[in-house]
A and B are shown apart, each in its own frame.
Chain A
Amino acid sequence: MLKLFKTILKTGDATLKYPFAPAPVCDNFRGKPEYTPEQCIACGACAVACPPNAITMKARPEAGTHTWELFLGNCIFCGRCEEVCPTKAIVLSKEFELAVGNKADLYQNATFRIANCACCGKPFAPQKAVEYAIDVLKQTGANAQVVEERRKLLETCSDCKRKQSIHAGEMIELRRYLDEGKDA
Chain B
Amino acid sequence: MSSLAETKTGQHYIDALRQRFPSTVLQEEWQTRDQVTVTVKLNSLPEVVEWLYYNQGGWISVLFGNDERSIHGNFAVYYVLSMEAGTKCYVVIRAEVDARTGEFPSVTPKVPACVWGEREIRDMYGLRPVGLPDERRLVLPDDWPDNLHPLRKDTMDYRVRPEPTSDTENYKFVNDASGETREIPLGPLHITSDEPGHFRLFVDGEDIIDADYRMFYVHRGMEKAAETRMGYDEVTFLADRVCGICGFAHSVAYATSVENALGIVVPDRAQLIRSVMLEVERLHSHLLNIGLACHFVGFDTGFMQFFRVREKSMTLAELLTGARKTYGINLIGGVRRDIQKAERDATLKLLGELKKEVAELVDMLLDTPNLAQRTSGIGRLDPKVARDYSPVGPNVRASGIARDTRADHAPTGYKLFQLPVRTKDSCDVLGRVLIRVEEFFDSIHFIEQALANMPVGPLLVEGFKYTPHKFGLGFVEAPRGEDIHWSMLGDNQKLFRWRARASTYANWPPLRYMLRGNTISDAPLIVASIDPCYSCTDRVTMVDIRKGKSVTVPYQEIERYGRERKNSPLK
Q: A residues touching B (Cβ–Cβ < 8 Å)? A: 3-4, 7-8, 11, 14, 25-26, 28-30, 51-52, 76-79, 83, 92
Contact = CB atoms under 8 A, between A and B. Distances in A.
Contact of B305 (A7, A25, A92): A7
19 contacts: A4-B301, A4-B305, A7-B305, A7-B361, A8-B301, A14-B311, A26-B315, A26-B322, A29-B322, A30-B323, A30-B328, A51-B230, A51-B234, A51-B237, A51-B238, A76-B237, A76-B241, A76-B326, A76-B328
A54 to B, nearest CB: 11
B360 interface: yes
A107 B381 CA distance: 52
A11 B363 CA distance: 17
Contact of B322 (A3, A4, A28): A28
B319 interface: yes
Nearest to B307: A14
B336 interface: yes
B318 A77 contact: no
Contacts of B363: 3
Contacts of B241: 76
B18 interface: no
B1 interface: no
Interface centre among A3, A26, A29, A83 (most CB of B within 10 A): A26
Contacts of B326: 76
Contacts of B322: 26, 28-30, 79, 92
Question: Ordered nearest first, which 4 A-B pairs have the shortest CB separation?
Answer: A51-B234, A30-B322, A78-B328, A51-B237
Contacts of B336: 79, 83
A14 B315 CA distance: 14
Contact of A25 (B302, B311, B318): B318
A79 B328 contact: yes
Interface string B284-314: 0000000000000000011001001001000
Contact of B308 (A4, A11, A26, A30): A11
A83 B323 CA distance: 16
A83 to B, nearest CB: 7
B364 interface: yes
B494 to A, nearest CB: 13
A37 to B, nearest CB: 25
Interface residues of B, number: 22
A29 B360 contact: no
Contacts of A79: 322, 328, 336
Given A26-B318, A29-B318, A3 B328 contact: no
Contacts of B361: 7
Contacts of A83: 336
Contact of B364 (A3, A28, A29, A52): A3
A44 to B, nearest CB: 15
A52 B237 CA distance: 9
Contacts of A14: 308, 311
Q: Is the interface of B mostly helix, strand, loop or mixed?
A: helix
Interface of B: 230, 234, 237-238, 241, 301-302, 305, 308, 311, 315, 318-319, 322-323, 326, 328, 336, 360-361, 363-364
Contacts of A52: 237
A11 B311 CA distance: 14
Given A11-B305, A51-B234, A76-B237, 14 more contacts: A3-B360, A7-B305, A7-B360, A8-B301, A14-B308, A25-B318, A26-B322, A30-B322, A30-B323, A51-B230, A51-B237, A79-B336, A83-B336, A92-B322
Contacts of B237: 51-52, 76, 78
A51 B364 CA distance: 46
Contacts of A7: 305, 360-361, 364
A51 B236 CA distance: 9
A46 to B, nearest CB: 13
A12 to B, nearest CB: 11
Contacts of B230: 51
A53 B238 CA distance: 12
B364 A4 contact: yes
Contacts of A78: 237, 328
B454 to A, nearest CB: 18
A48 to B, nearest CB: 9
Contacts of B308: 11, 14
Interface centre among A3, A4, A52, A79 (most CB of B within 10 A): A4
A51 to B, nearest CB: 4
B287 to A, nearest CB: 14
A29 B230 CA distance: 26
Nearest to B238: A51
Contacts of B315: 26
A49 to B, nearest CB: 9
Nearest to B231: A51
A26 B319 contact: yes
Contacts of B301: 4, 8
B358 to A, nearest CB: 12
A15 to B, nearest CB: 10
Contacts of A8: 301, 305
Nearest to A11: B308
A145 B445 CA distance: 65
A28 B311 CA distance: 18
A152 to B, nearest CB: 33
A30 B317 CA distance: 12
Contacts of A77: 323, 328
Contacts of A26: 315, 318-319, 322
Nearest to B361: A7
Contacts of B305: 4, 7-8, 11
Interface centre among B234, B237, B308, B322 (most CB of A within 10 A): B322
Contacts of B319: 26
Contacts of A76: 237, 241, 326, 328
A92 B337 CA distance: 15
Contacts of A25: 318
A31 B323 CA distance: 8
A98 B20 CA distance: 63
Nearest to A29: B322
A52 B241 CA distance: 12
